[in-house]
Amino acid sequence: MTGVDPSAEGIAAANAAYPDLKLETGSAYDDLAARFGRFPIVYSLEVVEHVYAPKDYAKTLFDLVEPGGKAIVSTPYHGYLKNLALAITGKMDTHFTVLWDHGHIKFWSIPTLTTLLEDAGFGNIHFLRVGRVPVLAKSMITIADKPA
């Protein structure tokens, strides 16, 4: 297993806590496949909502997955009814805060994340909504196949 994060401080803390794991600094915009190779399963947990260039991120993700492998992506869920509930309850500013350094800059729905992953070459894309009731889910977990 290999873990990558752009934060040198985060990687240092993770390496101290888990010295047996291979954890290194890197970016979703780097050629990580050239550096680490390809994997049968790639997990990208709570990353896509932080990237400025999602198409570059998706290309990197696609390149990291070996043919016939899977990408598992988690991100906060945003759909029409959840956004409507936030608006009705007056929680839009809190939820979509701009005052959080390095916070969420992209807000994904099932259709937008599907488009991103399909455009990168993934297929057979499935979603699970987790946390709360499905229409107000906290997060979504996406499983996408790279063709063999």
Q: What angle do CA 9, 14, 15 make, to 5 degrees?
A: 100
pLDDT in tens, 46-77: 999 989 999 999 999 999 999 999 999 999 98
Whether the CA torsion 92, 57, 141, 6 is positive or negative: it is negative
pLDDT in tens, 5-21: 999 999 999 999 999 99
pLDDT in tens, 135-144: 888 899 999 9
**pTM for the full model?**
0.87
CATH 3.40.50.150 fits 31-145, yes or no: yes
Residue ranges of the domains in the chain?
A: 1-27, 31-145
